[in-house]
Amino acid sequence: MRVLDSHLHLWDPEVLTYTWLEGPMAYRFADLELEHARLGLAEPEKSVFVQAETIEDDFLAEVDWVAGLAPAIGIVGIVAGIRLDRGTDTVAHLEGLLAEPLVVGVRHNLQGEPDGLAVSAAFVTGAREVAARDLSFDVCVRENQLPDIARLAGAIPELRLVLDHLGKPAVGTAASPLAPSAEWARDLTELARHANAFCKLSGLPGEAGGDWSAEQLEPFLDVAADAFGVERLMWGSDWPVSVIGPAEAGDPHAPEDGAATYQPTARSRWADAVIAWAETRGHDLDALLWRNAEQFYRTDRPRLLQTDVAPRSGLRSWLRGHRG
């Protein structure tokens, strides 16, 4: 069974700067750590790296770092960090990203941004520049922001966008599950009306704080399948964000105080849960686990290196001097 993980993070606080890492996540998660979290039955297993929210000055350095790790660990695409509301600075950043053939898309992390930013004139202009370069846009929002993303999709129908983590709906926990809300289902369905909008089956274990069951999360997968159709869904692990939570049974390193910790088997458990759900519903497993992500990110069509862009080191210095 081949697997293309559409949503993998890597980070190393000794190499790049992050302001949000804390607790069990404030450690290195890179090549060695990923090797211990491989999916047992996946052959081949490849991944798309999604930017891990370094500080803005490190956006391009993150691309360089991941590109250096990519051949050894099976990364076939990079979704790079960017600010899309910076006008000419956004254009310059995009041109710099084109110097790395592994860059297949960008992400301006919207989940902590003010409502309305995604449909502001500056942001829409930047998103049009993304579409013009045939790059995709990863959408990381919370469920109340979904209507803005539907409006963005309507304003730029040629923009290929993919919703991370099903829009982060409230799912509860294994012991206290929540049903999909009518508002979330409505807004997800409205976004799905746009043909170039896709959705990742990812992140729900993280929304449950690592305390989840397959039965709890299957109703959310059903809503996504009804809205997008299986041909516009893709599996993602959201590793290592979604593998932090209560210690797994038998973990010899479990914190004595019961604090959240790294769950060694959670990446595989999420893959197994989605596979079991798909098999029960008769969904196309290869589409969910490989083909849709490959076609969306165009990892089967390597992008040629651009030679008419500014040198990477010079662009980094320029961006540092022009941060907003």
Where do the structural domains in the chain lie, given as residue ranges?
A: 3-321
pLDDT one-digit tens code per residue, 52-88: 999 999 999 999 999 999 999 999 999 999 999 999 9
Phi/psi of residue 313, each to 5°?
-65, -40
Q: What is the pLDDT of residue 305?
A: 54
Alpha helices (runs of H) in the chain, residue ranges in sequence order: 31-35, 59-73, 88-97, 121-132, 146-155, 182-192, 204-207, 214-228, 266-281, 285-286, 292-297, 312-321
CATH architecture of 3-321: Alpha-Beta Barrel (3.20)
User: If you search the block for the tokens 């893709």, which residue do you land on?
Assistant: 234
User: If you search the block for the tokens 């129908």, which residue do you land on?
Assistant: 157
DSSP per-residue letters across 155-185: H-TT--EEEGGGG----B-SSSB-PPPHHHH
CB count, 10 Å around CB of 40?
A: 10
Q: Which residue has the higher pLDDT, 253 or 281?
A: 281
Q: What is the pLDDT of residue 121?
A: 98
pLDDT one-digit tens code per residue, 27-48: 999 999 999 999 987 899 999 9
* Ramachandran sector of residue 314 (left: φ over 0; alpha: ψ -120 to 50; beta: rest): alpha
User: If you search the block for the tokens 């040198």, which residue do you land on?
Assistant: 311
